[in-house]
Amino acid sequence: MDFSHKAIEKKWQKYWAENNTYKTTESNSKKAFILDMFPFPSGAGLHVGHIKGYTASDVFARFRRMQGYDVLHPIGWDAFGLPAEQYALKTGNDPRDFTLKNIDTFRRQLKAMAFSFDFEKEVNTSDPNYYKTTQWIFQQLYKKGLAENRDIDVNWCQELGTVLANDEVIIVNGKMVSERGEHLVVKRKMRQWVLKITEYAEKLLIGLDNLQWPQAVKEAQKNWIGKSVGAEVLFETELGIKIPVFTTRVDTIYGVSYVVLAPENELVHKVTTPEYKEEIEQYINQAKMKNEIDRKDESKPKTGVFTGSFVINPITKEKAPLWIADYVLDGYGTGAVMAVPAHDPRDWEFAHKFNLPIKFVLKTKDESKAFVGESAYVNSESIMGLNKNAAIQKLIEILESQNLGSKKINYKLRDWIFSRQRFYGEPFPVLYNELGEIELVPEQELPVTLPKTEYIKPSGDGRSPLANVHDWVNVEIAGKHFVRDTNTMPQTAGSAWYFLAYLLTNKPGELIAINSAEAKQRFAKWMPVDLYIGGQEHAVGHLLYARFWTHVLYDLEIVPTPEPFQNYFSQGMILGPDGRKMSKSWGNVINPDDVIDSHGADTLRLYEMFMGPLEASLPWSYDGLDAGLKWLNRAYRVVYKNTFSLINNGNLDFIYNDVVKKVTQMIEEYKFNTAISQLMILVNAFYKEIPGSVYQPYVEGFVKMLSLFAPHLAEEMWRMLGQNSTVTLSEWPVYDETKMIINKVTIAFQVNGKLRGSAEVDLNLSSEEILTIAKKDANVVKFIEGKSIVKEIVVPNKIINIVVKD
């Protein structure tokens, strides 16, 4: 008899909803804040890739709940953003209505999967009650000097009418285009809000040390922050213009052949001589068509233009030509590099291309290529005979004594560009008075909400569509005229603090103030997040921004810990059946609704957790899905029409307790696939005893463990075992070490090296006792009867071998 997934799913989902089974509790000293990366509610709905991460977090939340923890397992919607706005523009719909409709679809799908979310904690970043707090946090950033309006180079997409983040831009046929729609993107200088995340670079770096994160994710963050200890050196042009250069190898300064500026460096126009002006302008325009990844690609041919100026080496006093080249980036260091071709592969390639001198200052036997490393100094007057550290220190002292340089710590991290020229985003809580000066919207007047308007189409002139809503833009306060900032915040604004929003929410749409005493009590109870599961694509951007905001809130004494996520796990992707990333364009996307209809939610949950290690990216397999359903039916038949004993005959003591111990440890380590394997071993053991006297508490323990992966079926089996409460809130099974002592072993019986029988016997029997048992085995007797026994070999607790001859 197989179970009907359609019948039991509706039954138990109704029960959980009516009994508020997954409500967050506040009664225990132990707590577990289990967090998912909340989804963007697109029109496509969830796919089975989303299901993997949500199932993993749900398994762990159910586990902690049964262990007696207070569990907070919430969900919400990353609802602002470009996709909803683009859909609205194409269809003529309001993005707000479109988003709410999509949220309904997502919520239905999540509930169909039996995820134990507390939906009373649900948040929506596009709800004014939510972004009121986003605006309040922005105002605190501004008050701390961490938010600034600045003229900067940005990725501008004319077709979409907005600035795009670097991760929203891709390269197609050598050109920068938007990831969405593949529209042309160019570099453009615009006045934008930026958040000074660079001010927190060192804190963000140090904070990684005590986090339980995958090492690869930590390294990705460290590389993004990119701390470098070096020196800032002043090279001066013949006209007296000082050019600061950052270098980590000031000890190679004797080998400088040229100095190179980034095309965007503000000094370029000052140092360019008239005869090179046109060529420089053309090159700058070409550089604007490339993105940062393309410019940093060392495989690309080096390009550059001479400015016509020369600089003076502050140590050697020699002249060096001043160039611009797009392999130098303005956002890192000072946007200027001292080029030492003999000891840097990029500079080597550039120097060869433009016939610039190459001077070795580190000893090497092979001068046919750049030498990178450490060796004795040559052609370096003041540091000959010193080691690297001593040489660097001496040169810094020389430079400092002449006010031509100093020790410097630098970071690759750049400030967070925070403005978008879109309608569908959080409005800035900022006003400009008649002098153009910035004033904050009074706190009591937050939130600044989006107006009801049909003007949501990008203006195309770099302004937000909100600029066209004159009644909204123009504000009268206390007899004074103000205009609002018409940009909106990026989608990353709402996701930078959403984990805290769950703690502020009593029911959807109602948040208490983040700076209230009650909020601080909640943060003290629940922060930091104990387990955060999310996709590999967010290993840098989102995690870094969320950490930045939490560090700031910690400094403001709003939250009790500077780090938001104590434990982060990055799950692998589920690929299409063809082994490629799931994509509509490939036609390989699997809709969970279809799988739930054909196989049931429990089968989908079980299959995705059993596919392989949680961190692995693996292809979808319908054969694997079928196998999962087959095994669940086998598990169901353990209790279907079977009765069990309340008296323990001891037959399953070892295997049951061993499985409970292993499953408990494997869940703690997120090894869900091997935990399921252990449950399969236990089911096999049950079948060896059925029909018979299977101890009912062992079957109940199995059902409890199964409930993590197949909650609908487990609830049904729990009732079949005579239980009236929900298995979800039952106690996690415990194992008994005293019943895991092996006192029986199976001994193999061989005759002339061939297996002829076996028997289960007491542990550590003597050789004589084992031989006596073996010689009474009917099959062994058949092969030794009438023959001479030459030798009897006994390996205690394992095997005996009787050697005979005719």
Q: Which residues contact 174 (CB under 8 A, 6 or more apart)?
A: 294
Q: Classify 753 as helix, strand or coil.
A: coil
Per DSSP, the residues of 771-784 read HHHHHTSHHHHHHH
Structure tokens at 197: 């995340």
Distance of CA 513 to the CA centre of its chain: 28
3-state helix, strand, coil in the chain (%, to 5): 40, 20, 40
DSSP states along 420-461: B--SSSPBP-EEE-TTS-EEEPPGGG---PPP--S--S--SS
Judge residue 282's burial from the number of C-beta atoms within 10 Å of its C-beta, 0-12 exposed, 13-18 middle, 19 or more buried. exposed
10 has binding-site annotation: no
* 687 three-class SS: helix
Q: What are the tokens at 267?
A: 């000094």
Q: Is 30 exposed, middle or buried (0-12, 13-18, 19+ CB in 10 A)?
A: exposed
Round to whole Å and give the CA distance between 249 and 306: 24
Q: What per-residue string of b and e applies to 120-133 under the rule 16 or more CB within 10 Å gives b?
A: ebbbbbbbbbbbbb
* 420, β-bridge pairs: 488
- Between CA 572 and CA 534 the distance in angstroms is 9
Contacts of 397 (CB under 8 A, 6+ apart): none
CA-wise closest residue to 133 among 672, 498, 676: 498
Cβ 124 vs Cβ 79: under 8 Å: yes
Binding residues are 584
Summarize the annotated binding site for ATP as residue ranges: 584
